Amino acid sequence: MSSTVQPNERMLRIAVGWCGALLLLVAWQLATANSGSMFFPTPLEIFDDLRERWFSDGLAGGFLTDAFFVDVTPSLRRLLIGLLVAWSVGISLGVLLGRIPAVAHTVEPILHFMRALPGPVLLPLALVLVGTGTTMRVSLIAFGAVWPVLFNTYSAVRRVPEGYLETARTAKVSRLRTLFQVILPAASTGIFAGIRVSTSLGIILLIASELVAASDGIGFGLTQAQRSFQLLPMVVHRRSVAARLPVQPRLERDRVRRSALAPAPDGSPGLTTPKGCR
């Protein structure tokens, strides 16, 4: 029987995790401080530039500078909308496929074919079909990020233990309630694994789409800095992308703790490996 993690044990784990990151930063600082090369700015310089660029405005504007609203918010918005579309389509379609074998047999080959198309490759096509606006970027993100959610949901829904479903049936629980209170919770570990992978994919596609024909956003800022040979801003833009990644595991951690740490009824370990990582 697994037991819940003690609070102080959890704090310790978090602290250890931060220590690793801190050590890396210190090492980075030490290694770059005396290099004198403009190609290797120190983390402190990067942090300084980042603060000045985006967070140095007055208190009234919540410290956010105008550049923040040109560089960061448009990107975040595109990412968020794109991911929300990917998640809702992926989860709905995944449940449909997982519950109705006939649909799965019909649609699966096409889906696998479509999934094999790498998102960035579709960029030129998307430019021609949808234009250069936000819609293009959002649809590119949605198209690329939908697959891990879809296939993870599909396989998780298919693997919902028969016992759960029979329990719901013998209790005469309605289909809708069975979907929301049995199937989705039982499949949640897989679904969240898919969401996690799709988020990283979405960020990649976001930047890729903003490298082309954009007038704002992180990718655009990166291109601008690169063209004007401003190394520091380039690094800053790149870091800002990376900084978002560690946030995602938070999303699923709580769910995983609740459902997946309990041994799966078929005896297999509860944690699902994300599928569709490329």
Partner 1 sequence: MTTTLLEVDDLRHTYRTRQGDQTVLDGINFDVQRGEFVSIVGPSGCGKTTLLRTLSGLLRPTGGTITLSGNVITGVPKGLAMVFQDYRASLFPWRRVGANVEFPLLGRVSKAERRARTLESLSAVGLADAADKYAWQLSGGMQQRVAIARALAMRPELLLMDEPFASVDAQTRSDLEDLLLRVREQFDMTILFVTHDVDESVYLSTRVLSLSKAPTVKTADVPVPLTFPRDQIHTRENPSFVETRSEVARLIRQASPGGLAAAAGAH
Span of 17-25, 176-184, 222-230, 232-240 interacting with partner 1 by CB under 8 A: 176-184
1 scored as a contact of partner 1 (CB under 8 A): yes
CB 202 within 8 A of CB 79: yes
From the list 7-15, 29-37, 118-126, 185-193, the region that binds partner 1 by CB under 8 A is 185-193
Three-state SS for 167? helix
For residues 216 to 255, the per-residue mask of contacts with partner 1, x marking binding by CB under 8 A and - elsewhere, is ----------------------------------------
φ, ψ at 33 (rounded to 5°): -55, -40
Quickly count: other Cβ atoms within 10 Å of residue 69's Cβ.
13
Judged by CB under 8 A, the residue of 6, 8, 37, 170 near partner 1 is: 170
Scan for tokens 């992180």, then name that residue.
218
User: Are the C-beta atoms of 104 and 98 separated by less than 8 Å?
Assistant: yes
Q: Look at the alpha carbons of 171, 173, 177, 183 in this order and tell me if their dihedral is positive or negative.
A: positive
Supply φ then ψ for residue 202, to 5 degrees.
Answer: -60, -40
140 touches partner 1 by CB under 8 A:
no
In this chain, which of 50, 123, 136, 186 binds partner 1, going by CB under 8 A? 186
Per rule CB under 8 A, is residue 188 in the interface with partner 1? yes
Joined tokens for residue 165? 């479903």
In the numeric block, which tokens belong to residue 262?
Answer: 């309990």
- Kindly tell me which residue out of 9, 263, 269, 271 binds partner 1, with binding defined by CB under 8 A: 263
Of residues 47 and 164, the one with the C-beta less far from partner 1: 164
Q: Does 8 bind partner 1 (CB under 8 A)?
A: no
Instruction: Judge whether 78 and 206 are in contact, CB under 8 Å.
Output: yes
Contact set with partner 1 (CB under 8 A): 1-4, 161-164, 166-167, 169-174, 177, 181-182, 185-186, 188, 258-259, 262-263, 265-266
